[in-house]
């Protein structure tokens, strides 16, 4: 898999293209996580060409701002990276969809944001556009995280929109996520004399049954119902095919509603696995929907349609930790993200572009 810009690499993005063709162009610039530099360079160049924007760069992340002195400022953000290519580049186009890696997650949203940045020079609210790297991998590498920690003032705003896949409808807030490793002890023995040991893999069956019997909470938060999940996602145990396993480790992922803090979520998981060694390996907070905040309510009214809870974690949580209400709004069906048959509806790309242009210009759709 090539991740470097070769001699035939795209020389420049064309922001005179329609949103479908621009999405296709963006997707065909391969940008698997940690290998976004060529695409980041292209985005940086077209942003610098816009005289109404002030542009700053942090590694492979860009921030571009209008400075019109409006009463309200919003952040419009999207990540440039994708999961690894799975035989789904170059992009394929038919009458209904663009097919290929990044079409849904989330270069369609990036295309919409770039067109707004270039072609809406005097929006009715000031806009900070953020295009960033490494969203699809560990949190420590995330470009938006880096900006939020090193330069939080850059993200200061009244409201933020993450252009993640939401089928061109608003998905508010997001679930938190944590992962733990639960270790089940045993006693090694030769498998020919199994009764002299204690099989940790067999003992793990009791924990697996607990998880199978788990009844997820479905709390209502700010008027939206979230659906939690607690699942074993990895299991590891054993040392050799003739040895009774002396230990077994389950990796468990808890997707928790945004009415719980990270500490509360961890306490719940520790209590659920009481009596076993539980080690936290990864955690990110959820984000409340914030539908009671005026900026969120105004955006929802302008866009129209139903407002749904976000099942899953997105970078809206980073804005939430800064006290900024944020929603997910972008083309594409999130259920197709990370799949070999990833796709985005052409109609959703156009609908999302029209809605964002209308909201930023204050004109009726």
Q: List the catalytic residues.
A: 81, 135
Give the Cα separation of 190 and 172 in Å (integer).
54
Burial 97-118 (b: 16+ CB within 10 A, else e): bbbbbbbbbbbbbbbbbbbbbb
Do the Cβ atoms of 28 and 10 come closer than 8 Å? Answer: yes
Give the Cα separation of 97 and 346 in Å (integer).
5
Pairing of strands 97-99, 92-93: antiparallel
Pairing of strands 97-99, 229-237: unpaired
Smallest CA-to-CA distance from 207 within 188, 226, 187, 180 is with 180
Smallest CA-to-CA distance from 172 within 306, 362, 347 is with 306
Smallest CA-to-CA distance from 85 within 72, 99, 96, 75 is with 99
Measured in whole angstroms, the distance separating CA 262 from the mean position of its chain's CA atoms is 18
Inter-CA distances, 189 with 183, 184, 193, 200, 308, Å: 18, 16, 7, 11, 53
Pairing of strands 307-309, 170-172: parallel
Pairing of strands 220-221, 176-185: unpaired
């Amino acid at each position: 898999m090539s991740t470097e810009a070769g001699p035939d690499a795209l020389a420049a993005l064309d922001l005179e293209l329609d949103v479908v063709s621009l999405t296709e162009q963006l997707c065909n610039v391969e940008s698997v996580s940690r290998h976004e530099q060529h695409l980041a360079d292209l985005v940086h160049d077209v942003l610098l060409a816009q005289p109404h924007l002030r542009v700053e760069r942090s590694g492979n992340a860009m921030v571009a701002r209008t400075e019109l002195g409006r009463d309200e400022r919003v952040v419009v953000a999207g990540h440039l990276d994708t999961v690894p290519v799975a035989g789904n580049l170059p992009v394929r186009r038919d009458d209904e969809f663009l097919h290929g890696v990044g079409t849904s997650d989330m270069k369609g949203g990036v295309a919409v944001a770039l067109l707004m940045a270039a072609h809406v020079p005097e929006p009715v609210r000031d806009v900070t556009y953020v295009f960033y790297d490494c969203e699809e991998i560990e949190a420590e590498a995330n470009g938006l995280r880096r900006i939020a920690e090193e330069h939080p003032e850059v993200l200061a705003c009244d409201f933020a929109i993450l252009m993640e896949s939401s089928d061109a409808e608003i998905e508010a807030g997001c679930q938190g996520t944590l992962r733990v490793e639960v270790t089940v002890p045993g006693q090694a023995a030769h498998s020919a004399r199994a009764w002299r040991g204690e099989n940790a893999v067999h003992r793990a069956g009791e924990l697996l049954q607990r998880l199978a019997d788990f009844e997820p909470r479905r709390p209502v938060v700010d008027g939206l119902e979230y659906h939690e999940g607690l699942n074993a996602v990895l299991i590891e145990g054993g040392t050799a095919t003739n040895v009774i396993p002396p230990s077994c480790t389950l990796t468990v992922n808890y997707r928790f509603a945004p009415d719980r803090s990270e500490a509360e979520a961890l306490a719940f998981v520790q209590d659920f696995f009481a009596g076993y060694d539980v080690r936290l390996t990864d955690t990110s907070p959820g984000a409340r929907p914030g539908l009671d905040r005026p900026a969120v309510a105004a955006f929802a009214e302008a866009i129209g349609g139903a407002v749904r809870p976000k099942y899953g974690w997105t970078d809206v949580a980073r804005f939430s930790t800064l006290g900024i209400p944020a929603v997910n709004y972008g083309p594409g069906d999130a259920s197709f993200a990370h799949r070999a048959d990833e796709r985005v509806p052409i109609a959703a790309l156009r609908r999302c572009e029209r809605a964002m242009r209308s909201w930023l210009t204050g004109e009726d759709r």
